[in-house]
Each structure stands twice: as structure tokens, then as C-alpha cells.
């Protein structure tokens, strides 16, 4: 793994985490919560400066960062629960008007979800750049995005013979909504028999097609089966509005893909060996950076960055301890029941969740290293 890969990955992760924490920071300030420190990186402080009530710092380890708000640790366990001095409980802030813990639930909810919201916004901006500036020109000198509308289809193909027609816009496959050609490709390639139920828009009306058939073939070397597409899709001319629409549709597609992947993990379709942690992700990013010398390569890199930042946003909203989603779950409980879970119990749950996440990270990192060694 080269130094370039490591530096590129750290830079990308640093920006993604900084944007996430900046979301918490902005909304905390908006909600009149005192931010004691806004840090980029972890570990010992390299440099720091003060502006108003907030200390801004750059830390040694370029991994993560944090936005330390007044009163947010009131949900932490007492030092006794953490193995400290039982006679030294966590103290309430002197000024509760600027404390996170003393703000109404809806204000705390906005602060908690702001980090993930900024990651999703960053993903959209990155996708705008990917499609606005990195789309290659075609032979006629124009730029196009792939649609899901059939442009070419041989009448001798199985797809035509089972109902698909030129001009059909594919909007559903096996009950799943299709927003982009990426959705179409992923759903079709993951199928086992090459036969699909499709919903198309034909002459302005929705038409349901059952048993649309495509050809499956087997790679002689790997033994893997893959589907042969019998059609080509129309191009969408690049304009400002079509670029915005394409970025929005792709963000939706990436979000759905990530949710489906999480579901596949829970159902056992994917296992631990299929996950990539920091080491594996650094390797993938490094390869993408190396290939970013062309417009297509740069677009592929930006698409990867968009996927990572959207992934970070979604993962942080999962209702798991130590994540923003876990905190959000406690806030929803408090908002519904009007009862606040005791601080020591909430903090202990987050602490246990953090330990479990670290164990998972270590396991995935070990898998990454073993995969790299094995080539």
C-alpha cells in the first residue's frame, strides 16, 4: 500500500468526518448550545485557537473528529461506572441555558441528525461535480447521461420475444423501483435465472410485463454466471436541470443500495469476509485515485467518495449505541414518554456499544489485511 493511497484516503475521510461534525456544530450554534471545542482528528492537539466561546483544534491522528457541546456528556456514566471515583459524579453545567442536555427534545434531535444530513448533502454536491464536470463527450461532441429507456432491441432477442419493446422506460424490476441505470444493472445482475417481472412506461401508461427473459452465460475461467443485456438505453442530453436530476436520482440509488446491503448483512447473504474496513477502503480509494487521470477515472473516484459519505450518514443514523442513531433513539423515547432515561444507564449503553464497534472494526481490519496479503 503506497503512501499516496494512505494520504488520499486520509484526506477524503478527513473531509467527510469534518463535514459531519460541522453539521452538528452549525445546528448546535443555531440552537444556542455552547460548543466548547470543534476538533479535526483525534489524539494530542497539534495546534488550537479560540474564537468566542469555542476552541478549534487540529489533532495528531487524522482519523475522525468531534464537536464537544456543553452538557452533552450528561448522558455519560459517572466515573464509578467507568471505573473511576464514585464520589465524583458528573456535574451539571453552571449555565443550563446553553447546555445540550437542557434543550427541548426537538432541538436535540435536530442537532443529532445534522451530522448525517450534512453527509447526505455532501454526497449530492459530489455527485453534481461528478456528472456536471466529468461526463465524457460522445462522438457528436455532446454529453449524455444513461436513462432506463430502451433505445435498441433486436426482435430476435429473448427480451423482445417476452414483451420488452423499444421506447419502453423501465421503472420497476421484480417489484423494486428503478431510478437509474445503476439500479437496473444491479438488480438484473443479482438475479439467478435471468427472468424478470418488469414495470415499464409505454406511451405514457404503466405496463406490467411478466417473465421478461434475458440470456445467462457462464465465465469459463471463474465459473461465475452473468447476464447478457439484449438492449441499449437512450442518452439524456446534459443540461443544468438534467445534471441536478441525475445527481438526485443517483443519491437515491446509492442510498437504496446501501440499505439493501445492510439488509443482506442481517439476513446472512453477506458475511464478515465481504465487509471492508479502513484498510480495505484505503486500498480501493488509492486505486481510484491512481485511475483519476482521465475524466472517467475522476468520475469513478467522485462516485466512490459520494458512496462513502452517504454510507457514513446512513450508518450514523442506525439505532445502535454510540452512534447518532442510538442517541436519537433515546431522544425519541424521551419525547414520547416524557421520561428521561437516567444518565448513567444511557452512557453505559453507549460505552458498551462503542466497545462492540471497536471489536467489529478490529475484526474487519484483520480481514482486510488477510485479503491484501492473499492478493
pLDDT of residue 76: 38
Active site residues: 21
Backbone angles phi, psi at 370, to 5 degrees: -60, -40
The contacts of residue 283 (CB under 8 Å, 6+ apart) are 1, 5, 368, 372
Q: Look at residue 81 in the predicted model and tell me its pLDDT.
A: 35
What is the structure's pLDDT at 375? Answer: 55
pLDDT of amino acid 206:
94
Series of mean pLDDT values for 10-residue runs along the chain (375 residues) = 73 88 95 92 89 90 82 53 39 69 93 96 96 87 92 92 94 93 86 87 94 83 76 93 96 90 73 62 72 83 92 90 89 89 79 76 63 58
pLDDT score at 273 = 64
Q: What's the pLDDT at 80?
A: 35
Give the CA-trace dihedral at 351, 352, 354, 356, to 10 degrees.
Answer: 170
Q: What is the number of other CB atoms lying within 10 angstroms of the CB of residue 140?
A: 7
Instruction: Give the pLDDT of residue 38.
Output: 93
User: What's the confidence (pLDDT) of residue 79?
Assistant: 35
Say what the pLDDT of residue 280 is.
63
Residue 87 confidence (pLDDT): 40
- C-alpha dihedral (250, 256, 257, 258), degrees to nearest 10: 110
Instruction: Identify the structural domains of the chain with CATH numbers, from first to last.
Output: 3-132+304-374 (no CATH), 144-237 (2.30.42.10)
Tell me, what's the pLDDT at 263? 77
Residue 208 half-sphere exposure toward CB, CA atoms < 13 A = 6
Provide the pLDDT for residue 367.
63
Contact 287, 8 (CB under 8 A): no
Helices 278-290, 343-374: axis angle to 10 degrees equals: 50
Amino acid at each position: 500500500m503506497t503512501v499516496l493511497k494512505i494520504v488520499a484516503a486520509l484526506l477524503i475521510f478527513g473531509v467527510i468526518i469534518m463535514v459531519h461534525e460541522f453539521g452538528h456544530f452549525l445546528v448546535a450554534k443555531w440552537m444556542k448550545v455552547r460548543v466548547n471545542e470543534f476538533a479535526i482528528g483525534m489524539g494530542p492537539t497539534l495546534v488550537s485557537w479560540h474564537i468566542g466561546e469555542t476552541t478549534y483544534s487540529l489533532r495528531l491522528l487524522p482519523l475522525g473528529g468531534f464537536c464537544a457541546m456543553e452538557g452533552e456528556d450528561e448522558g455519560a456514566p459517572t466515573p464509578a461506572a467507568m471505573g473511576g471515583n464514585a464520589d465524583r459524579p458528573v456535574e451539571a453545567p453552571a449555565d443550563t441555558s446553553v447546555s445540550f442536555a437542557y434543550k427541548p427534545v426537538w432541538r436535540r434531535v435536530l442537532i443529532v441528525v445534522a451530522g448525517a444530513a450534512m453527509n447526505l448533502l455532501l454526497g449530492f454536491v459530489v455527485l453534481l461535480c461528478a456528472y456536471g464536470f466529468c461526463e465524457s463527450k460522445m462522438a457528436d461532441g455532446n454529453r449524455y447521461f444513461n436513462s432506463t429507456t430502451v433505445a435498441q432491441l433486436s426482435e430476435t432477442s429473448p427480451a423482445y420475444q417476452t414483451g420488452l419493446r423499444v421506447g419502453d422506460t423501465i421503472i420497476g424490476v421484480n417489484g423494486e423501483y428503478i431510478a437509474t441505470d445503476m439500479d437496473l444493472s444491479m438488480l438484473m445482475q443479482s438475479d439467478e435465472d435471468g427472468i424478470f417481472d418488469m414495470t415499464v412506461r409505454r406511451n405514457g401508461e404503466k405496463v406490467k410485463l411478466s417473465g421478461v427473459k434475458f440470456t445467462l452465460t457462464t465465465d469459463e475461467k471463474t465459473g461465475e454466471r452473468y447476464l447478457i443485456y439484449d438492449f441499449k438505453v437512450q442518452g439524456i442530453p446534459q443540461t443544468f436541470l438534467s445534471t441536478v436530476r441525475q445527481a438526485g436520482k443517483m443519491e437515491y440509488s446509492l442510498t437504496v443500495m446501501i440499505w439493501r446491503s445492510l439488509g443482506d448483512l442481517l439476513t446472512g447473504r453477506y458475511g464478515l469476509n465481504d465487509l471492508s474496513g479502513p484498510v480495505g477502503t484505503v486500498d480501493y480509494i488509492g486505486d481510484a485515485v491512481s485511475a483519476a487521470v482521465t475524466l472517467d477515472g475522476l468520475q469513478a473516484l467522485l462516485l466512490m467518495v459520494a458512496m462513502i459519505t452517504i454510507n457514513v450518514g446512513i450508518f450514523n443514523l442506525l439505532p445502535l449505541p454510540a452512534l447518532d442513531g442510538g442517541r436519537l433513539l433515546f431522544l425519541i423515547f424521551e419525547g414520547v414518554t416524557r421520561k428521561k432515561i437516567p444518565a448513567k444507564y444511557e452512557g453505559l449503553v453507549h460505552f458498551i456499544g462503542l466497545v462492540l464497534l471497536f471489536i467489529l472494526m478490529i475484526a474487519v481490519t484483520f480481514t482486510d489485511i488477510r485479503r491484501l496479503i492473499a492478493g
